[in-house]
């Protein structure tokens, strides 16, 4: 069933809607990492800072689980995006 | 999904191999197929890989398999009814050394004989194919337009989704702890969730496949190496459409259709500790390589760095087939750096072997017997 909030963009970097997230949760993808793999949600420059909470909350709501029982998904370096030139030129060995 | 204690086939691992094998088993009419994964679907090497697909190989076996893979991927979105993100912008191979350049040209001769339309291209053409190309010290280039890459997530999830629709049962978060063998035959698996009896067990456990094999009493000379990789923020298309690959230059770099550039290389010494960490050493070597090969990446930002396991065999070729001393125990392992592209084709081959059908490509020479016989397949074209 479509809901008005389906159109909300939850991941601005990769332009993923709440509706798309809901659709794949309904298909049985109940972890952040699986949704990330299939939708690219959280893969953009902000690395999920904006969307992780929203997605986890939606998984909790749709599966009836506690938020604390849902694995938060992996966090990968870099902490923030860094220019290639800045890394390559660093003399430190 | 309800747990039941019997199956016709148990597949260990839900990467590209396990998802493809199980789908093709269902397509061949096998009744009850169960896939087990200790983590989630696509959490292993498959979800961490460069996802390149190529027919530009240096041995006849790999050229035949590679071409079959390219053809398979060309029809895969349609076969599975889901877009798998195929992008055929070719592989541009870059040689820096005389011997390497000779080898690349020999490879093209072999490839052409086997029906692969690869060719030598000059610098001017290379620059047209890859507008961002620097690499002033390169000696020569070869190109095959039908090479490319697919989205590894979408490809694996397409097999997963279609497989489930056909009745494949998946139990994720389920670790296989033992394999039951008696009188030279496999008869089931033990997991942390319970046991499953099955006359056929397939090892598709990627970087951990040697441990799974030894549970069945099969010793495979495999080991796993950690390989790192990075991706940039999305930038305008057309910087590096083809996969740029060099064996002596030690890199593969490609821009995804949505703009990010993905890059990997092999700094000396790959840790074999089964950890999945990341290192500054890699980050620095990779970004320096990128500046030399694609100078205009200087101002682009790296967004993410991660690693995955290459499951290595003594000749860096896959190990496929049924175990000699354990009937019903099949392996689809040892793919080193090219198990994603081979997955759809080897998945079908393994399914054929299980149901006793003659596969379209004979893979007898990829049996692990070759290590005992000393018949290694020495492939000159790997990073
Ligand atoms: C950085 C990098 C770049 C690469 N680039 C390319 C490329 O460009 N092209 C290409 O073709 N290939 C590439 N590869 C190689 C490719 O990723 C692998 O060969 C391929 O994904 C292997 O697939 P798989 O299904 O065998 O293994 P995996 O995807 O690793 O799946 C194995 C699964 O088995 C599960 N498992 C393990 N042990 C157990 C257990 N005891 N019980 C239950 N489950 C278990 C794991 O959880 C895992 O999900 C690359 C690899 C890396 C790391």
CATH code of B300's domain: 3.30.9.10
Same domain, B15 and B164: yes
Co-location of B349 and B298 in the same domain? no
**8 Å CB contact of B283 and A34:** no
Distance A18 CA to ligand 1 centre (A): 30
Q: For B240-284, what is each residue's pLDDT tens digit?
A: 999 999 999 999 999 999 899 999 998 777 888 888 889 999 999
* B62 within a domain of the structure (yes/no): no
B382 lies in some domain: no
CB spacing of A84 vs B302 below 8 angstroms: yes
Interface with A, mutate which of B302, B306, B307, B308 (most A CBs under 10 A):
B302
Q: Is residue B80 part of a domain?
A: no
* pLDDT, average across residues A3-27: 94
| Pick from B42, B234, B304: CB nearest A78 | B304
Q: Which residues constitute the domain of residue B166?
A: 9-47+153-221+315-373
* ipTM for the predicted complex: 0.89
Task: Give me the number of domains chain B comprises.
Answer: 2
Work out whether strand B140-144 and strand B91-95 pair parallel, antiparallel, or are unpaired: antiparallel
pLDDT tens digits for B310-365? 999 999 999 999 999 999 999 999 999 999 999 999 999 999 999 999 999 999 99
Same domain assignment for residues B307 and B353: no
Contacts of B287 in chain A (CB under 8 A): 84-85, 87-88
Q: Please tell me whether residues B227 and B369 are part of one structural domain.
A: no
Residue B77 covered by a domain = no
Q: What is the pTM of this model?
A: 0.96
The reported pLDDT for the residue numbered A93 is: 46
pLDDT of B83 reads: 97
The answer to whether A81 contacts B298, with C-beta atoms less than 8 Å apart, is no
Same domain, B242 and B135: yes
Confirm whether B57 is domain-assigned. no
Domains of chain A: 4-87 (1.10.10.1100)
- Reported as a single tens digit per residue, the pLDDT across B214-235 is 999 999 999 999 999 999 999 9
Together in a domain, B235 and B302:
yes
């Amino acid at each position: 069933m479509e809901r008005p909030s389906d159109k909300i963009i939850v991941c601005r970097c990769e332009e993923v809607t709440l509706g798309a997230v809901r659709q794949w949760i309904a298909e049985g993808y109940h972890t952040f990492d699986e949704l990330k793999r299939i939708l690219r949600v959280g893969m953009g420059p902000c690395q999920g800072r904006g969307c992780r909470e929203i997605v986890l909350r939606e998984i909790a709501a749709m599966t009836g689980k506690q938020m604390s029982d849902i694995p938060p998904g992996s966090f990968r370096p870099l902490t923030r995006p860094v220019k290639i030139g800045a890394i390559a030129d660093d003399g430190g060995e | 999904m309800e747990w039941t204690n019997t199956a016709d086939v148990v597949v260990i691992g839900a990467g590209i191999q396990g998802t493809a094998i199980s789908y093709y088993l269902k397509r061949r009419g096998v009744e009850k197929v169960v896939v087990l994964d200790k983590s989630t679907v696509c959490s292993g090497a498959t979800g961490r890989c460069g996802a390149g697909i190529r027919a530009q190989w240096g041995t006849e076996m790999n050229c035949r398999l590679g071409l079959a893979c390219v053809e398979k991927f060309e029809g895969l979105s349609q076969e599975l009814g889901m877009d798998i993100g195929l992008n055929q912008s070719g592989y541009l191979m870059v040689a820096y050394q005389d011997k390497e350049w000779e080898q690349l040209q020999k490879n093209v001769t072999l490839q052409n004989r086997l029906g692969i339309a690869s060719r030598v291209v000059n610098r001017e053409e290379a620059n047209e194919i890859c507008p961002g190309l620097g690499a002033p010290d390169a000696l020569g280039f070869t190109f095959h337009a039908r090479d490319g890459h697919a989205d590894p997530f979408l490809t694996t999830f397409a097999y997963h989704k279609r497989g489930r629709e056909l009745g494949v049962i998946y139990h994720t978060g389920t670790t296989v702890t033992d394999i039951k063998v008696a009188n030279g035959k496999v008869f089931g698996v033990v997991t942390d969730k319970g046991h499953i009896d099955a006359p056929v067990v397939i090892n598709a456990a990627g970087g951990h496949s040697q441990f799974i094999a030894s549970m069945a009493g099969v010793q495979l000379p495999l080991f796993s190496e950690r390989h790192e990789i990075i991706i940039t923020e999305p930038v305008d298309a057309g910087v590096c459409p083809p996969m740029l690959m060099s064996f002596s230059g030690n890199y593969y770099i490609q821009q995804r259709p949505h703009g990010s550039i993905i890059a990997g290389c092999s700094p000396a010494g790959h840790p074999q500790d089964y950890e999945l960490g990341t290192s500054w050493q890699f980050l620095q070597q990779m970004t320096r390589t990128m500046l030399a090969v694609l100078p205009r990446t200087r101002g682009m930002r790296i967004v993410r760095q991660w690693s995955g396991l290459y499951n290595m065999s003594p000749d860096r070729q896959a190990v496929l087939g049924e175990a000699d001393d354990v009937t019903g125990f099949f392996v689809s392992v040892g793919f080193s750096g090219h198990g994603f592209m081979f997955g759809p084709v080897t998945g079908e081959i393994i399914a054929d072997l299980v149901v006793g059908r003659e596969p379209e490509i004979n893979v007898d020479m990829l049996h692990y017997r070759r290590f005992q016989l000393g018949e290694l397949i020495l492939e000159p074209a790997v990073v």
